[in-house]
Structure 1
Amino acid sequence: MSTFRAVVIDKNEAGQSVELRSFDEADLMDGDVTVRVTHSTLNYKDGLALTGKAPVVRRFPMIPGVDLVGSVETSSHPDFKPGDAVVLNGWGLGETHLGAYAEKVRVKGDWLIPLPEGLTPHQAMAIGTAGYTAMLCLMALERHGLRPDRGPAIVTGAAGGVGSVAVALLARAGWHVVASTGRPEEADYLRGLGAAEIIERGELTGSVRPLAKERWAAGVDTVGSTTLANVLSMTRYGGAVAACGLAGGMDLPSTVAPFILRGVSLLGVDSVMAPKALRMEAWDRIARELDPGKLAAMTSTVSLDEVTEAGRRIVEGKVRGRVVVEIG
């Protein structure tokens, strides 16, 4: 049986270990498509898995990595044949199913979509789950009937992966984007992506009032906890916030006041198990609507050998924008 390189997380009484080593193809999990992986990416969830800071990994040993792009090697699925370029986001990859930080994966063909036309593999992973989630947030706000003429849109965690893409997408769609960040040194970077205003993270981390001054009509929140509670308290009448992250915590110390006194809506956005039709719509739009130059400006690249260290840095809040992991 052939072997390939993979980052492998294991756990015993002494704790969690992470190493780059040879992995036997015979130990891959069940699936009807085998993919030769060329690129992956680094999301906050990947950082949590690599560092063990949160219980992301549900079985051991595990190959982390929730995103991939690659070429089909073998397939018994009717939609895919050898040589097809494919993308996978989520579906438990890197959590319950052996993931993308490897030169090869075996997965269910129903989890795959074709690589969107007009995107290179590197660009697709520069987008990754983070960018795809940002588009799902924009689509959720649009389905709610919100448009730029209703007022500004806030993006929290704006210098991170989801936040960076959300800023660029909202700005392109015509929104006056307010970018919240705890890294004031990234102000020029965020303005380059299209942010019209930059506010300090501290403005949204203080004590939460049931209702505060109305400041924005829409929001994309990647942080959760007190930040999301404050964003909701400052959302205009009839506005909505798309929530997709929990970097600040899973709690929500809010009241019902924004919902019953201002008609504010909280829109939950899940990217992991989103139906295929929604995935393809989001990927089609992002391929058309995300400026390639802005995508390049927010992207850095690491090798498979460097991904463990990059995972530590993203959890420590030291990574800006998007990180592509070159596999093959």
Structure 2
Amino acid sequence: MARFKAWVIEKGEAGQSLSFTDFDEADLMDGDVTVRVTHSCLNYKDGLAMTGASPVVRRFPMIPGIDFSGVVEASDHPEYKPGDAVVLTGWGVGETHLGAYAEKARVKGDWLVPLPAGLSPEQTMAIGTAGYTAMLCLMALEAHGVTPKDGPALVTGASGGVGSVAVALLA
């Protein structure tokens, strides 16, 4: 199998370590789609995982990175074929399943979504998991009948991540 570059978190007696290394494709976890990762972003949770400041990573070794966009290289999933542009956010990737800070990822096809029309891979990762989470929250408010005429919305943590995207969407 091919080797590719990846950030890898290891844990030993001396604690957690992070290295940029060659990773063997044969060591990727189970999944029915292999993706060539083209873009990712840095989330608060990724920072915690990479620094070891919080117990985000639940198995070692771990490739961190909770979201990515990329191109399908191989697929046994009925909805994806090689060459398809895809996006992934969440699903324990970077925590319990090898993540996005690598040139390749192997995941379950059910975790993927096609790259949305009109968005580039760069734009999807600029939005990232934080933007996706903020959008889901706003959709839940709308589903419960909350509208701007109901009054102002309070957003906490608006200096970055989910909060800043929520403020932009609410505006």
Q: Structures share a fold, TM > 0.5?
A: yes
User: Which residue of 1 is the match for residue 85 of structure 2?
Assistant: 85
User: 3-state SS of the aligned residue for 1:38?
Assistant: strand
Question: 1:158 & 1:31 partners in 2: Cα distance?
Answer: 36
User: Which residue of 2 is the match for residue 176 of structure 1?
Assistant: none
Q: Report the CA distance between 1:144 and its aligned residue.
A: 1.9
User: Which residue of 2 is the match for residue 48 of structure 1?
Assistant: 48
Q: Report the CA distance between 1:150 and its aligned residue.
A: 1.1
Question: 2:134 & 2:100 partners in 1: Cα distance?
Answer: 21
User: Which residue of 2 is the match for residue 11 of structure 1?
Assistant: 11
Q: Report the CA distance between 1:7 and its aligned residue.
A: 0.4
Identical counterparts, % of pairs: 78
User: 3-state SS of the aligned residue for 2:26?
Assistant: helix
**Stretches of 4+ aligned residues off by more than 6 angstroms:** none
User: 3-state SS of the aligned residue for 2:141?
Assistant: helix
> Where do residues 139-218 of structure 1 align in structure 2 (5 Å cutoff)?
139-171=139-171
- Post-superposition CA distance 1:12-39 (Å, at most 9, x none): 1111001111101111111110000000
| Structure 2: gaps of 5 or more residues | none
What is the RMSD computed on CA atoms of the aligned residues? 0.7
Q: Report the CA distance between 1:80 and its aligned residue.
A: 0.3
Q: Report the CA distance between 1:89 and its aligned residue.
A: 0.6
Q: Report the CA distance between 1:153 and its aligned residue.
A: 0.8
Question: 2:108 & 2:142 partners in 1: Cα distance?
Answer: 31
- Post-superposition CA distance 1:90-141 (Å, at most 9, x none): 1110011000000001111111010000000000000110000000111111
Question: 2:44 & 2:137 partners in 1: Cα distance?
Answer: 17
User: 3-state SS of the aligned residue for 1:35?
Assistant: strand
User: Which residue of 1 is the match for residue 126 of structure 2?
Assistant: 126
User: Which residue of 2 is the match for residue 71 of structure 1?
Assistant: 71
Question: 1:30 & 1:150 partners in 2: Cα distance?
Answer: 47
Q: What one-letter code is carried by the residue in structure 2 that aligns with 1:43?
A: N
Question: 1:127 & 1:68 partners in 2: Cα distance?
Answer: 11
Larger radius of gyration: 1
TM-score, length of structure 2 as denominator length: 0.98
Question: 1:44 & 1:150 partners in 2: Cα distance?
Answer: 32
User: Which residue of 1 is the match for residue 32 of structure 2?
Assistant: 32
Question: 2:144 & 2:56 partners in 1: Cα distance?
Answer: 31
- Post-superposition CA distance 1:282-311 (Å, at most 9, x none): xxxxxxxxxxxxxxxxxxxxxxxxxxxxxx
Q: Report the CA distance between 1:79 and its aligned residue.
A: 0.1
Number of matched residues?
A: 171
Q: Report the CA distance between 1:54 and its aligned residue.
A: 1.2
| Structure 1: gaps of 5 or more residues | 172-328
Question: 1:139 & 1:51 partners in 2: Cα distance?
Answer: 33
